[in-house]
Structure 1
Amino acid sequence: MGGMGLLGAERDGVVSVAGVEVTREELAGRARAVAGRIGGARAVAVNATASVDTVAAVLGGLVAGVPVVPVPPDSGPAERGHILADSGAELLVGAPSDGEVFGLPTVPSTGSGSGAFPEPSEDATGLILYTSGTTGAPKGVMVSRAAIAADLDALAEAWAWTPDDLLVHGLPLFHVHGLVLGVLGALRVGSGLVHTGRPTPEAYAKAGGSLYFGVPTVWSRVVESGAAEALRGARLLVSGSAGLPAPVFDALAARSGHRAVERYGMTETLITVSARHDGERRPGQVGLPLRGVETRLVGEHGEDVPHDGATPGELLVRTPTVFQGYLNRPDATAESLADGWFRTGDIAAIGPDGWHRIVGRASTDLIKSGGYRIGAGEIEAALLAHPAVREAAVIGTPHPDLGEQVTAFVIADGIAETDLIDFVARDLSAHKRPRTVHFVDSLPRNALGKVQKKLLTP
C-alpha cells in the first residue's frame, strides 16, 4: 500500500505486544486511520508505552510522512516538557487522557482507515529520538526513513533474519533497540513479533521465539533464573545497548546452547557493527562493520590509530545510516560530523582482522593515569572474571601524582579489596589495576541497563 514502503510488504504473522495480539491487516488499518488524522502536522508525539497503541501511532506517522517523537512514559515533567517544546510536536497520538498530561491536542490510534497514501521521500525525517541527556538537556536526533531502511536491511542480511522468524523481546519502545530494531525491523522483514511487555525471564522462556533481543541485564537474569534452558530451540540470541560481560556470555552459551551475537550502535548512527549469524562470536567484542559502513580510529589530535587490537582510539563511523543532525542544534551537529564521519565519542580497539572491541565512552571510560591511556572496559572485564564479582564499573578519579587513578565500584561477595586488586594485576598491566575498590549494593543504571557513571562518587 502507498506510504508503507519503509515497512515492506504486508504479510501474515503474529504481532503481539504485552499480551494484545493484532493481525498485520488490523495494524495497517490503524496506521492508515492515524495517518488520515495527522497529515500536515510538523511532528507528533507518542507516549511510548509497551502497547499496540504505540506501534499503531508510530506506523501512522511513517505512513503520513510526519516525524514521530517517542516520549519515555516514565519521563518527568521537566524532561517531557523539554522534548515536546524542542521537537515542536503539535499533536499527541494516543489515549485522550494522555493529552491532559502532555498538554497537547490528542488524536486516537484506534479505528481503521482505507486508501493509499503517497510514499514520503526517503530523505524525510521518520523519527526524532531523544538522547539520554547525560551531558545536558536531551538532544533530538533526526533519523531519516532511508537510514532506517538501510540499517534494517543490513541487519537482516547479517543475522539471516527472514519472515520465518519469530522475534521476541520486551525492550522499551522509545529507543533504537526496542522500537527501530525490535518493531520496525520485524515489520520490514515480515517476521512475527512478540513483545513481552517487560523483558522477564519467564516471558522469554515461554514465548517460543527463534530470534531474541536483550540487553546484558536481561541476559544475566535469564541465566540466573534458569530460563536459558528454554531458549535452546531459538536460532539467534542478540545482545546490545551495552557490553555483555564475558561471564554472562559464557553462562548463557553453556545453558542455552547459544553464543550471543553482540552488536554496536548509537541513536545517531543506528547499528553499525555486529557479529554475523554464520560467523564467530567473541566475548567482549562486537564484530565487524555492517554492509556499507566504514570505521576508523583516531587519537587525541586526530591522528590515525593502528588497528592492532590493543591501541585504543575514538571510533569514527561513515555510514548511510547516520542521522540528519540534532534538531535545532547546528553547533552540536557540526561538532559531531566532519566529511561524513561521525564522532561516536566511544573508545574502541580494532584488530588486524577488523573485529571491534568497545572500551567505553571517551568522557567517562578513557582514564589518563601516569601518562597511560587506560580503557575502563578492559578493567571491568577483568573484575567480572572473578567468581565473587556480580557487577563492576570503573572510572577515573583525581589523583595528585597520576592525574587520574583507576577506581572500581563492585557488587561482590566474600572478597577483600586487596584480593581483587591483585586479581586484576595478574591479568593486566600493573598500571591498569584499580587503586581503590568500593563495594556497593547496586550500580545506577538507565532504562537499557547502562551504568550511569556520572552518578558514581567515591
Structure 2
Amino acid sequence: MSALFPALVHGSARPALRFGERALTYGQLASAAGALAVRLSGAGRVAVWATPSLETAVGVVAALLAGVPAVPLNPRTGERELRHIVGDSTPALVLAAPGVELPRVLDGLARIDVPVAAPDQTTPLPGEPDPSSAALVVYTSGTTGPPKGAVVPRRAVATTLDALADAWDWTADDVLVHSLPLFHVHGLVLGTLGPLRRGGSVRHVGKFSTEGVAQELGAGGTMLFGVPTMYHRLAEVLDDDAELRKALTGARLLVSGSAALPVHDHERIFAATGRRVVERYGMTETLMNTSVRVDGEPRAGSVGVPLPGVELRLVEEDGTEIDAYDGETVGEIQVRGPHLFTEYLNRPDATAAAFDGSWFRTGDMAVRDPDGYVRIVGRKATDLIKSGGYKIGAGEIENALLEHPGVREAAVTGEPDDDLGERIVAWVVPTDPARPPAAPELADHVAGQLAPHKRPRTVRFLQALPRNDMGKIMKRALPHD
C-alpha cells in the first residue's frame, strides 16, 4: 500500500495526469507505475530524464513505489555538469520516454523506456518503504561549485505536501495547472507529486503561454503554479485579454515561487482580476518553509508564515538569535523540522557546514513583521549589502525600482567602495530603451520610497537580465566592470 499516494491504491477512473492531449487516470497510473516499480526493485538509485511528459511522472512515481531514489536530470544540462551529476549519484539505470535521444554521457547506463500504457495484468503495489529512506536526489544549481546532490527523504515529501494542503486548503477536488520543468522541487514535488498525494489532478500545458494558462484554467483548473517570469508575462497582457482575466479571476489559488514576485506585478494582477498571488518560500534542501495562507491576510512582498511543523529563526552573522519582529532587523533564515534533506550525497563536509546544530543555514536574509510574516530581502552571498554601517537587502530596492514606470526589470548588487564599504548598484532594463530614466531620478525614487541610505549610487542599463531556467536572475553573470 502506498502511503505517499493513497489514491493509487483505489485505482479509480478519476483523472490523475494530463500532459497536452495525453492523460492517465489513477487506475491507469497505478497499473503503469506499479508494473515499472517491480522492474526497478533493488536497483539502487535511478536517473530520470526529466522531460515535461507523462513518462517522467510515471517514472518518478514508479521509483517512489519501489523505494528507489530517483535522480531527476535536467535535459538542458551541459555535458560537463551532467557528467558530474551522473558520476556523483552513480545511478544503476536511466528512465526516459521512448524515442527520446539521450546524450552520450549516459551511454554507460542501462535504459528503460517508460511505458505509460496499462499492462494486461494488474500488479499489486509494493509495500511502503521506511519514511526516513531517500525518495529523491535533487542537484542544486551549483552557483558556488559543482552541483551538490540533496538527498530528500520520503518523510520530507509527505510533510511538505501535507503542510501545504493545510495552508492552501488543497484537496482532491483541485485541478492544478502548470508548465514548470520536472527536474526540481517546484515542478516535480509540488506541481506533480502534490496533486497525486491529494488525489487531485495535474494539467501540464507544456511550454508556458498565456493562451495555455487561460485555456486550462478556463476549463476547470482551480490552481496555478508559476514563477515570477510567468506571472510578469500574464500581468503584461491582462488588460488586453478578457479570456485570461476571466480565467485568473475564476481560479481558486494562484501560487508563485522559486524567486520573489515583484510587488508591481502583484498589484497589476490584483487590479485586473481581484485575485491575490500567494507566495511561498522553499529550497531544494528544505522543500517548503513558509507560505501565505489562504485563510490569512494576502500581502504582496511576503512569503507568509512558517508552515506546520517548520521551526524558523533569524540569526546574526555570529549566530546570535534575533528576537525582533519589527520589519526592519535583517538576519539569516535558519530552519529545522521533518521537511529537511538528510545530507548532500558524498559530501559530509558540505553537509556539516550547512547546519548550525539541528538548524539548517539557508543563506537567505529576511525580516519579520510584527505578526510573524516573513519578508526575504535577498541571499546572504549576493543580496546583503553593507553600506555606510547599514545592512541592506537588495530585494526591497529592486521592488522600489520596479514601481518606477520607466523600469521594466531591475537587479541590485553591492560593489566595493572606499568610503561606504559597499555601494549600491542598480542594473535596470528600461521600459523604453530609447529613453531610459535618468540615474538621479531613479536614485531619488528609491530614497523617497525607502530611505536615503538605500539609494543606488550607480545605475547601469541593460537590454536584459541574465536568468536561469527557472527565471531567477543570475547576479554573478552581470557584466561587472
Given the alignment of the two structures, is residue 217 of structure 1 paired with residue 225 of structure 2, yes or no?
A: no
Distance of 1:28 and 1:256 partners within structure 2:
38
Alignment of 1:356-371 (within 5 A): 356-371=374-389
Which residue number in structure 2 is paired with residue 45 of structure 1? 47
Shift of 1:133: 0.5
**Is 2:287–2:340's contact at 8 Å kept on the other side of the alignment?**
yes
Shift of 1:99: 5.1
Given the alignment of the two structures, is residue 403 of structure 1 paired with residue 421 of structure 2, yes or no?
A: yes
SS in 1 for 2:193: helix
Alignment of 1:295-314 (within 5 A): 295-305=312-322, 306-314=324-332
Alignment of 1:21-36 (within 5 A): 21-36=23-38
Shift of 1:8: 2.2
TM-score, reference length from structure 2: 0.92
Shift of 1:388: 1.5
TM-score, reference length from structure 1: 0.97
Alignment of 1:311-350 (within 5 A): 311-350=329-368
* CA offset digits 1:66-86 (Å, max 9, x no partner): 100000011111111111111
Alignment of 1:135-146 (within 5 A): 135-146=144-155
Which residue number in structure 2 is paired with residue 134 of structure 1? 143
**Which of 184, 198, 205 is the equivalent residue of 1:189?**
198
**Which of 145, 150, 170 is the equivalent residue of 1:161?**
170
**Is 1:47–1:98's contact at 8 Å kept on the other side of the alignment?**
no
Which residue number in structure 1 is paired with residue 4 of structure 2? 6
**Is 1:99–1:105's contact at 8 Å kept on the other side of the alignment?**
no
Shift of 1:403: 1.9
Q: 1:100 to 1:382 in 2, by over 3 A?
A: closer
Distance of 1:90 and 1:142 partners within structure 2:
17
Distance of 2:149 and 2:25 partners within structure 1:
32
Distance of 2:135 and 2:87 partners within structure 1:
18
Given the alignment of the two structures, is residue 198 of structure 1 paired with residue 198 of structure 2, yes or no?
A: no
Which residue number in structure 1 is paired with residue 241 of structure 2? none
* CA offset digits 1:153-204 (Å, max 9, x no partner): 1101110011111110100101111000000000000112101112211110
Which residue number in structure 2 is paired with residue 425 of structure 1? 447
Q: What amino acid is the match of 2:153?
A: S
SS in 2 for 1:75: coil
Shift of 1:115: 2.1
**Is 1:19–1:197's contact at 8 Å kept on the other side of the alignment?**
no
Which moved further from structure 2: 411-420 or 325-334?
A: 411-420
Distance of 1:13 and 1:197 partners within structure 2:
18
**Is 1:67–1:125's contact at 8 Å kept on the other side of the alignment?**
yes
**Is 2:94–2:112's contact at 8 Å kept on the other side of the alignment?**
yes
Distance of 1:155 and 1:81 partners within structure 2:
35
Q: What amino acid is the match of 1:125?
A: A
What is the aligned residue count? 456
Shift of 1:6: 0.7
Distance of 1:100 and 1:183 partners within structure 2:
25
Which residue number in structure 2 is paired with residue 118 of structure 1? 127
SS in 2 for 1:9: helix
Alignment of 1:56-71 (within 5 A): 56-71=58-73
**Is 2:16–2:196's contact at 8 Å kept on the other side of the alignment?**
no
> What value does the CA root-mean-square deviation take over the aligned residues?
1.3
Distance of 2:156 and 2:16 partners within structure 1:
26
* CA offset digits 1:266-292 (Å, max 9, x no partner): 110001100111211111111000101
Distance of 2:197 and 2:100 partners within structure 1:
31
Which residue number in structure 1 is paired with residue 311 of structure 2? 294
SS in 1 for 2:473: coil
Question: Structure 2 regions of 5+ residues with no counterpart?
Answer: 239-243
Distance of 2:247 and 2:195 partners within structure 1:
22
Distance of 2:306 and 2:125 partners within structure 1:
37
Shift of 1:225: 2.3
Q: What amino acid is the match of 1:310?
A: E
SS in 2 for 1:33: helix
**Is 2:384–2:394's contact at 8 Å kept on the other side of the alignment?**
yes
Question: Structure 1 regions of 5+ residues with no counterpart?
Answer: none
Question: Moved runs in structure 1, 4+ residues, more than 6 A?
Answer: none
Distance of 2:203 and 2:263 partners within structure 1:
28
Given the alignment of the two structures, is residue 436 of structure 1 paired with residue 458 of structure 2, yes or no?
A: yes
